[in-house]
Structure formats: structure tokens, C-alpha cells
Structure 1
Amino acid sequence: MTRGIGRDRTLPDAVRGHWADRRTPRFIRPYLRLARLERPIGWWLLLLPCWWSSALAAIAVDQPYPSPWHLALFLVGAIAMRGAGSTYNDIVDRRLDASVERTRDRPLASGEVGVPAAFAFVLLQCAVGLAVLLQFNPFAIATGFASVVIVLFYPFMKRVIWIPQIVLGLCFAWGALMGWAAAVGSLAAAPVLLYAGSIAWVVGYDTIYAVQDLEDDEIAGIKSSARFFGEHVRTGIAVCYTLAFLLIGAALILADSGPLAFLGLLAFAVHLGWQVVSVHAGDPAGALRLFRSNREAGLLLFAGLVLDALLR
């Protein structure tokens, strides 16, 4: 089921010196890489819309803070489901990954892990995600299950449409619905607008991420928003981030948010503007740093929402 599992491969976009690559038994490291544990930015970006939504719901229903229990559940769920989605994506893309410089050493593309073992690992991570989901109310559980179809189709979109990041956004922004659903037991216009804004944010930051692979993607015939925008990639990112700012702002208005929430949104917008100014198509390493910085951007918005709930 596995081949060459004792070899130690550090992927180019991994966090250098991460504990998953240094402090775990060698035989388990390829599976941790399938789950992207040495690249924690992925689960952060999946988690942040959940936390935004939880905090926005607290503002809307006059709670002093979002449920700590829900925040903790979303943390565990984001790590598990990001890992499951990444492993599934690598199963589907193992031949494409082998043709791209940045991804050819991934465990499936390189042969460190076989497909049957990878499928078993997907099921294990999904079991953790299901255990988390079942802690919520029935409406939130149904909302969580509704995302499965999108997740299953996403890996194939880069072969079909020029901006597959839109489908990625549908997946990664789903938490913008989940936090509200878990807190309120229903949905409203505010979380739907937050979801739409989060999708625009995902398309923007993943376009920055795709800048790393422009040359290899063209050779392999992989479609991406970075290739679609071409020499206008900075403008494309700016449009996405502007939409994110406007839609999230509309969500804050509908939830009757106060000045601190809008201050957090402003800090978020300034950070996104800095990314637009700083991105360069010929600087893959810089693109990776900017992509990772979206954790800080998202935390700025979350901090503003939490402080608004606390100090209303």
C-alpha cells in the first residue's frame, strides 16, 4: 500500500522546521503531508469564515461573545476536513501533481503513499469531521452535509473552467454559513452576504497562491485564475478583494454591527490592499508569503467582530 515511506520529503511550500516534519515517526510523515499539517495556513483559511460567522451571530442576537465551544469545534473540524479534502484532492490530481515542480514530491505523486491507503486516510479524517458536526443543532448538521457535493467536484474543476477558485471559494467559505447556523439554528441575509464576501476573498487569495505555478500550469494545461487574468492579475485580485470588502460590510450592516466591527473590517481591507500592491507575477516566493498573510488579515476582522460583541 505504501512505497518508499521512509524517505523524508519537505515540500517547497511547507513551513520550514514544522513539528510534523521533525517530531513525528518517519512512517507517519507522508500521511501528515497528505493532510497538509505542515502547511497550517489551509486550515486557518477554512476556519476563519466559521469564526467570523460565529462572532457576527453573537452581535446579531446580542450575545457578549461567540460560543467558545463552537469556536473549538470549528477548529478541530477545520483541521480534519481540510486534511480530508486535501488528501482527496491529491488522489484525484496525483498525475497532474507529478508534472508540476512544486507538487511532484507530494506523497501520492511521488509514490510514497498508495491510493488505497490514501482513501482509508480520507475516511478516517471524515470520521473526525462527522463527530464534530454531530455536536451542532440539526439545522447546522444539515447545512454541513450540504457542502459535500461541492467538495467532491472541486478537484476536477481545474480541468473544466478557467477560474476553478470560484468552486474552491464555495467550499472554503462554507463556514460563513456554519457559524451562524450553529448559533441561531437558521440562516438569514447577513450570513449569506458574509458567505458571498468570503468566496470573493478566497478567489483573491488563491489567485495569489496560483501565481507560484504559472509556468508549470501552462505546460500541464491546468486552468487557474492567475492564468486567466494574465498580465492583469493584480487588477483581478483587487476586484475580488473589493467585492469581499463590500459584501462583508453589507453583512455587518444587516447584523447591526457597531463601530469596532467596522474597524476590524477596515483593518482587513487595508491588509488586502497591501497584498494587491505587493503581489508580482514574477515573484513566486513573495506570492506564497502574501498568501499566508491572509491568516493575519482574517484574524483582524475576527478581532473586530469579537470586540464589538464584548463592548456593545
Structure 2
Amino acid sequence: MTIGTPTRGRSRTPTDIPTGTWIDRYPPPALRPYLRLARLDRPIGTWLLLWPCLWSAMLAAAAQGPAVPVPMLLGLLVLFAIGAVAMRGAGCIYNDIVDRDIDAKVARTATRPLASGAVGLVGGWALLILLSLIGLVVLLQLDPSAIRIGLVSLLLVAAYPFMKRVTYWPQAWLGLTFNWGALVGWTAATGSLGWPALALYLGGIGWTLGYDTIYAHQDKDDDALVGVKSAALKLGGWTRPAVAGFYLWAVALFALAGVLAGAAWPFYLGLAAMAVHFAWQVVGLDIDDPTRCLRRFKSNRDAGALLFVGIVLAALFG
């Protein structure tokens, strides 16, 4: 089988670049590949990066009440949103720069701007630097302790693209990276790191292991041919119980975060709704259907929203 050839009997996703979006309609054609390179047409990654920041800052508000003024909290939420868009884009560009030769051999990623040549390496680095500077400006608006914690995450970001070359668990490293905002959010709101933030962070790692293992099943055939590793390849037919275990891990540690923060009852309603959503993902998972895997993966935006609503209500009624 040649790389990029559909596997018999399976629904393949020919490309991960959507068509007919706002990028195809409004920006000048010369800008479109750069906007796609930064994944501005696919916000799911931004949501997954943003939720731990929002959960943590809002949980701090629920725990400490008037000690976290509402104007400051709202300002933090806006900063985190801007930072998530910028840093998710920068991270994707860095990943695409490192993986451009591999991406060119994988059906789903072969049309990405760097892999296809629509954007040159110099242009990719220029956009990466611009987005990183935006992220730095956002970070510098935070409490000094939060700034220091935020800077440490750059080590995780720098190493992530290489993990698939050395371990079957790059999803675990992504979990370490994508959930770092749980530590930053609490610290930005309170001025110091707290145990609830650590519980959120550790729970987020389980959450990421679950959703990114589902995501990785889209590429498992091509990954095996190219020679890169993933949890999808390692787990194979054990994926469903493993994902269930990862999500159970996440729910248990999120519950611990609520207990440590003294969160009011609405927090646990939001968490229960999130757990039901996880169960829906697991029950309907078909690891041999890339389209269904992508749909389950993207639905984690809604899973994160359910927990966030619970935390907001806990802050309001606690």
C-alpha cells in the first residue's frame, strides 16, 4: 500500500484542511495559506488549549470569592483567549516546520501549507515569531509568578514534535503541554500556585490522553508506514477501554480539584455532565472510522464547556 492510499473498507479523511470557510471567502488569496498554517480555520485546538486556563482562573474565583475581583477575572479570561489563539497557532506552525517531511507523506496532512509548499520555510518562521511575540505580550500582563510558570511551558512545547519519533505516548507529552494553563490560570488569579490547580492539571493530562488517542486513529495506517509512533498504534484494539480509563482519570482528578477548592454543588453538576459526554464518546467510538474519530475529538470543545459552566455557576452560587 502506498502512503495516502485509502485502506479498503475504511472511510478515510483525504485532508484535514476544511473548504468553504471564511478563509476561502474574505482574506486576499496570498494570505490564505498563512491563516491556514496558523489553524485559524480550525479553532478546536484553541479551545482545548484555552479550557484549562479558564477552568483554573474561574475555580480560583469560586474558591476565593471577593479576593479575585470580577474586573480582574474578566481581564484574565480575555487575555487567556488571545494568548490561546496566538500560542496554539505558533505551536502548530512549529510542529509543521519540524514535521513537514513527514506530513508530506501522510494523506490527511499532505496539503498543509508547509508540506505542500504553499508557504515557504522563511514565511513559516516569520509567522511563528509574530504569534510568539503576541503570546509574550499577553504573558507579560500577568502576575510575575504566573509569568515564570508560563515560560517553563516553552520547554514542553519545544520537545513535543519530536516525541512521536521516540515514544508511543506523544499524547502524554501533549497532555503535559496543553494543560499547563491550569497552573498559569490559578496563579494569575491568586498570585501563587495552589493544589486545586495541580489537580486540574493532572486531570487534564488524562483528558488529553483520551481525546488525542481518538484523534491519532485517523493516521494510524500512515503513521505505521512512515515510522512514527502514537498511542493509537500502541493500544490498537484496547483503545476503547483505555480511553474510558483516561477519561475516568480526568473526572476523578477534576472532582479532587473541586473538593480542594471547596467548590459549591454546581461544579459537580458540570462535572457530571462532562462525564456523561465522555461516556457518549466512548460508547460511540469506532477506531476504524476516521470521520467518527474526528467528530468525537472535536466534541471535546463541548466537554470542556460543560465543566466551565459548572465552575461559573459554582462561583455565582457558592
TM (norm. structure 1) is 0.94
Matched, 1:17 2:20: yes
CA apart distance, 1:23: 1.4
Aligned pairs for 1:178-217 (under 5 A) are 178-217=184-223
Matched, 1:140 2:146: yes
Matched, 1:40 2:43: yes
Matched, 1:126 2:132: yes
Give the partner amino acid of 1:19.
Answer: W
3-state DSSP of counterpart to 1:146: helix
CA apart distance, 1:113: 1.1
Give the partner amino acid of 1:17.
Answer: G
Contact 2:212 2:297 in 1 (8 A): yes
Q: Distance in 2 between matches of 1:103 and 1:274?
A: 28
| Equivalent residue pairs, number | 302
Identify the range of structure 1 (14-23 vs 132-141) with the bigger mean alpha-carbon deviation. Answer: 14-23
Counterpart of 1:286 in structure 2 is: 292
Contact 1:13 1:288 in 2 (8 A): no
Contact 2:203 2:249 in 1 (8 A): yes
3-state DSSP of counterpart to 1:159: helix
CA apart distance, 1:282: 1.2
1:166 pairs with one of 167, 172, 188:
172
CA apart distance, 1:18: 2.0
Counterpart of 1:84 in structure 2 is: 90
2:53 pairs with one of 41, 47, 50:
50
Counterpart of 2:107 in structure 1 is: 101
Q: Distance in 2 between matches of 1:92 and 1:98?
A: 12
3-state DSSP of counterpart to 2:119: coil
Give the partner amino acid of 2:39.
Answer: R
Q: Distance in 1 between matches of 2:205 and 2:291?
A: 24
Counterpart of 1:29 in structure 2 is: 32
Q: Which digits, 9 at most, give the CA deviation of each residue in 1:178-206, with x for residues without a partner?
A: 11011011111110010000111011100
3-state DSSP of counterpart to 1:124: helix
Q: Distance in 2 between matches of 1:293 and 1:206?
A: 12
Give the partner amino acid of 1:104.
Answer: A
- Structure 1 unaligned segments of length 5 or more: list them: 1-10
CA apart distance, 1:15: 4.5
- Sequence identity of aligned pairs in percent? 53
CA-based RMSD: 1.2
CA apart distance, 1:14: 3.9
Give the partner amino acid of 2:149.
Answer: T
Give the partner amino acid of 2:25.
Answer: R
Give the partner amino acid of 1:20.
Answer: I
3-state DSSP of counterpart to 2:159: helix
Contact 1:13 1:39 in 2 (8 A): no
Q: Distance in 1 between matches of 2:15 and 2:224?
A: 20
3-state DSSP of counterpart to 1:237: helix
Matched, 1:304 2:304: no
Counterpart of 1:73 in structure 2 is: 79
- Structure 2 unaligned segments of length 5 or more: list them: 1-13
2:264 pairs with one of 255, 258, 269:
258
CA apart distance, 1:154: 0.2
Give the partner amino acid of 2:59.
Answer: L
Contact 2:17 2:111 in 1 (8 A): no
CA apart distance, 1:16: 4.4
Give the partner amino acid of 2:24.
Answer: D
Q: Distance in 1 between matches of 2:315 and 2:230?
A: 38
Counterpart of 1:238 in structure 2 is: 244
Counterpart of 1:269 in structure 2 is: 275
